[in-house]
Amino acid sequence: MTRTPILEAARLVFRRDLTLAWRRWDEVTQPLIFYVVVTTMFPLATTPELSQLRLISGGVVWVAALLSSLLALEALFRADVEDGTTEQWVLSGQPLGYLLLAKVAAHWMLTGLPLVLMSPIVGTALGLPFEAWGTLVVSLLAGTGTLSVLGGIGAALTVGVRRGSVLLSLLVLPLAMPLLIFGARAVTMAIDGDSPAGPLQLLAAIFFLALSLGPLAMSAAIRISVEN
Amino acid sequence: MWTWFHKLGSPPHAYRILGKMAPWFGWPALVLILVATWWGLWKAPTDYQQGDAYRILYIHAPSAWMSMFAYVMMAVAAAIGLIWRIKIAHAASAAGAPIGASFTFLALATGSIWGKPMWGTWWVWDARLTSELLLLFLYLGYMALRASFDDPQRADRASAVLAIVGVINVPIIHYSVQWWTTLHQPASVTKMDRPSIALVMLIPLFLMMAGFQLYYGWAMCRRLRGEILRRERNAGWLKEAN
Amino acid sequence: MASDGALFEARAINAWRGDRHILRDVSFTVHPGEFLKITGPNGVGKTTLLRVICGLLPAETGDMFWKGRNIRGTADEFHIDLAYLGHLNSLKADLTARENLKFLSGLRQSLTAADVDAALDRVGILSRGDLPARSLSAGQKRRLALARLVLADADLWILDEPVTNLDTAGIALVEELIHEHVSAGGLAIAAAHQRLLDDAAILRRLELEP
């Protein structure tokens, strides 16, 4: 039998997670519902006037998307660490970072991507004009992607901790503030008719940075978590 | 030189060396801080723009600088501990966190105190204060992660990963906050920036900075000794010393 | 290789769990064709030692050598030659037995459906192949975990209480698998309370004391 090449191994991890999620799809929809609920809170808390909501729509959509993604990330590694799958990954002889990145990618496809696709609808409910949809989607694609990597690092660090979700948020949200600043600002600029190219490029740069360094941090964190 | 470093890696030696070093940091720190305070409060002239309120800068600016410095030190120590598996580096990282967090809090408090006479509010979202606030969150997260582990070695390594991820993020956070505050005032300078001031007003700033730096050294000696005691409480050398 | 032909060598391994110094200067060698059985009372550190060998737990001091090279710098190559069966079965409850093997063992070796079936048959659960792991009994789950060893194509087997939850037929299966593996030139290290190949010529003991 020949050794599995790394890309094939990563693809197996990706497909495995999609298969598992398919059999428990109700868990996949929860972050999406949370997203809509949280967004609804803002008009209720401020004003029903769309003209006023529009001013903060970029920020609200972004904050809600970040919080919803974070909610889903908390349990990212827990099942695999508890049933011993993760330690087998550590012992597989494959570069651990790639396997973990594949897992994060599957998780993003199941949670981050639906949020991104839902965001124009949610944004419109807050007065976001059609012209800003493109910027909204692109910024959230990079933002939720980066957050998945950051959340993956946080989830790997807190996997054994009781009530780890609060700690996870405390660790990840400060690191995600730059994403929020650039992303929400990009959307607001698009609403105002200015070109959002600057912040979008910065978002993309942060995303690629996370993609290249994130797997290293996740590997280190996972190796610590299997020490039990 | 190398043997000295090597000795530092061994807990009983480190404990002794740190104990000897502490007063060399502590006394000069005290003197410098006292002189800087006197100079800043009395000797330096009143600023024609900001009156006497600017004097809080003498504490605010050095605290902010030290909070950053302490975080970088913490992350460097964590990296050394993680990569070369040197336990005392982890101890140094753990010891430094509350010191850095205290500087951050001091910077926030003095910034807030400065804000009241300047702009009439206790808080303002300017670049430095916002960055300090986010830095405080990073410190608190680090300390919370440490506290959540029962096993001390895992606590060391996990928080080391977090510190390294954090230190990479700090420049990004700084730049993004800077960018965020300039959006509504494109040409303005950070509100808390040093006013253009004469040399005689800068001297207490340098003195205070040096004093804080030495204070950091003293506080690290003390806290690191405490960390070593805590970690080595079952070790033979401690019982012999007592 | 070490001078006496040992493929695996541990030298002066020391390990702590929290504040407890669990492994003190543990040293041993294992040669091809040998089965090293680690015994000792509960809590003495058998699991810790096995996990340290795998690299899941760090050894504070000491070195380990595989095929003459220090494992510290060559962990990935060592892991390619290693198959580990721990306390946990590493199974996903929602995946079928076949899928479990495909998605886990498939990370190490390219597997065909025939390979998977052959492994399931070897451990006696071929008929259960398409059932979700959730609905397997504890013994069947352990057998499924054993199937990973069959598929692993690894020289060194590390087994932690391999016969947990197994009936007499299952214990015999484990003994057969170890015997076959070791006779073909492989090495096996296992921690076990029960009799496990205790009378075989291939067995050597390592007794850990508290």
A57-68 pLDDT per residue, tens? 999 999 999 999
Residue range C75-86: mean pLDDT, rounded = 93
Distance CA C170, CA C154 (A): 21
Chain C interface residues facing chain B, Cβ-Cβ under 8 Å?
A: 16-19, 58
Chain B, chain C: beta-carbon pairs less than 8 Å apart = 10
Longest distance between any two alpha carbons in chain C, whole Å: 49
In the stretch 127-186 of chain C, residues with CB closer than 8 A to chain A read 148, 151, 153
The closest of B78, B20, B2 to B221, measured between CA atoms, is B20
As a whole number of Å, the CA-based R_g of chain B is: 20
pLDDT for A33 beyond 90: yes
* Among candidates A170, A185, A225 on the partner chain, residue whose Cβ is nearest the Cβ of B140: A170
Distance CA A149, CA A143 (A): 10
On whether residue A1 sits in a domain, the answer given is: no
Query: A13 CA to chain C: closest CA distance, Å?
Result: 7
Distance CA B160, CA B86 (A): 12
Distance CA B222, CA B231 (A): 14
Residues spanned by the domain of B187: 12-241
* Among candidates A174, A181, A185 on the partner chain, residue whose Cβ is nearest the Cβ of B138: A174
**Angle CA B200–B203–B208, to nearest 5:** 150
> Structure pTM?
0.90
Distance CA A107, CA A129 (A): 30
Distance CA B123, CA B114 (A): 9
Question: How does DSSP classify residue B148?
Answer: T
In the stretch 181-220 of chain A, residues with CB closer than 8 A to chain B read 181-182, 185, 202, 206, 213, 217, 220
Across chain C, what does the average pLDDT equal?
A: 90
Chain A residue with Cα closest to B181:
A181
On whether residue B2 sits in a domain, the answer given is: no
**Domain count within chain A:** 1
pLDDT mean by block of 10 residues, chain B; 242 residues = 66 88 91 88 71 80 94 97 91 96 96 84 88 96 94 93 96 92 56 58 86 94 92 74 58
Percent of chain C scoring above 70 in pLDDT? 99
Residue A210 · residue A178 · CB < 8 Å: no
Number of H helices, E strands in chain C: 6, 9
Q: Domain spans of chain C? A: 1-81+155-210, 91-153
On whether residue B53 sits in a domain, the answer given is: yes
Q: Is C143 exposed, middle or buried (0-12, 13-18, 19+ CB in 10 A)?
A: buried
pLDDT at C138: 94
Residue range A136-144: mean pLDDT, rounded = 96
pLDDT for A215 beyond 50: yes
Q: Which segment of A35-44, A76-85, A213-222, B45-54 scores lowest on mean pLDDT?
A: B45-54
User: Which residues in chain C are contacts of A20 at CB distance < 8 A?
Assistant: 92, 94-95
pLDDT at A45: 93
Q: Which of C77, C103, C151, C153 to mutate to test the interface with A (most CBs of A within 10 A)?
A: C103
Residue range A151-159: mean pLDDT, rounded = 94
pLDDT at C42: 85
Residue A145's alpha-carbon distances to A100, A148, A210, A217, C15, in angstroms, are 14, 5, 9, 16, 39
Which residue has tokens 């919803």?
A68
On whether residue B4 sits in a domain, the answer given is: no
Residue range A17-44: mean pLDDT, rounded = 91
Query: B170 CA to chain A: closest CA distance, Å?
Result: 8
Strand partners, C93: none
β-bridge pairing C61-66 and C69-70: antiparallel
Q: Are the Cβ atoms of B183 and A185 closer than 8 angstroms? A: yes
Distance CA B109, CA B115 (A): 10
pLDDT at B191: 47
Distance CA A158, CA A149 (A): 14
**Domain count within chain B:** 1
Q: Are the Cβ atoms of C106 and A20 closer than 8 angstroms? A: no
pLDDT at A164: 80
Query: B189 CA to chain C: closest CA distance, Å?
Result: 51
Interface contact C106, partner A, CB < 8 A: yes
pLDDT at C1: 54
Distance CA B94, CA B152 (A): 11
- E strands in C123-202: 156-160, 187-191
List of residues 6+ apart from A34 with CB closer than 8 A: A67, A68, A71
pLDDT at B187: 42
- SS3 state at C206: strand
Interface contact C114, partner A, CB < 8 A: no
Q: Which chains have at least 3 CB atom pairs separated by less than 8 Å from chain A? A: B, C
Q: Are the Cβ atoms of A174 and B145 closer than 8 angstroms? A: no
Query: A141 CA to chain B: closest CA distance, Å?
Result: 19
Q: How many Å separate Cα C164 from the centre of its chain? A: 13
Q: Which residue has the higher pLDDT, A28 or A210?
A: A210
Number of H helices, E strands in chain A: 10, 0
Residues spanned by the domain of A213: 6-225
Amino acid, single-letter form, for residue B152:
P
Chain A interface residues facing chain C, Cβ-Cβ under 8 Å?
A: 1-4, 8-9, 12-13, 15-16, 19-20, 23-24, 79, 83-85, 87-95, 99, 226-227
Residue C157 · residue C185 · CB < 8 Å: no
Grade residue C97 by pLDDT with cuts at 50, 70 and 90: very high
Q: Which of A3, A89, A91 to mutate to test the interface with C (most CBs of C within 10 A)?
A: A91
Distance CA A42, CA A142 (A): 24
Residue A70 · residue A169 · CB < 8 Å: yes
The closest of C124, C58, C49 to C84, measured between CA atoms, is C49
pLDDT at C3: 61
* Among candidates C17, C19, C58 on the partner chain, residue whose Cβ is nearest the Cβ of B234: C19
Distance CA A216, CA A98 (A): 9
In CATH, the architecture of C1-81+155-210 is 3-Layer(aba) Sandwich (3.40)
pLDDT at B188: 40
Distance CA C154, CA C77 (A): 11
Percent of chain A scoring above 90 in pLDDT? 87
Residue A58 · residue A65 · CB < 8 Å: no
pLDDT for A217 beyond 90: yes
In the stretch 119-178 of chain A, residues with CB closer than 8 A to chain B read 153, 157-158, 160-162, 164, 167, 170-171, 173-175, 177-178
Run of H or E residues at A192:
helix A164-192
User: Which residues in chain C are contacts of A16 at CB distance < 8 A?
Assistant: 92, 95, 99, 103
User: Which residues in chain C are contacts of A24 at CB distance < 8 A?
Assistant: 94
Contacts 24+ apart (CB under 8 A), B14-22: B14/B88, B14/B224, B14/B228, B15/B225, B15/B228, B15/B229, B18/B221, B18/B224, B18/B225, B18/B228, B19/B221, B19/B225, B21/B217, B21/B221, B22/B218, B22/B221, B22/B222, B22/B225
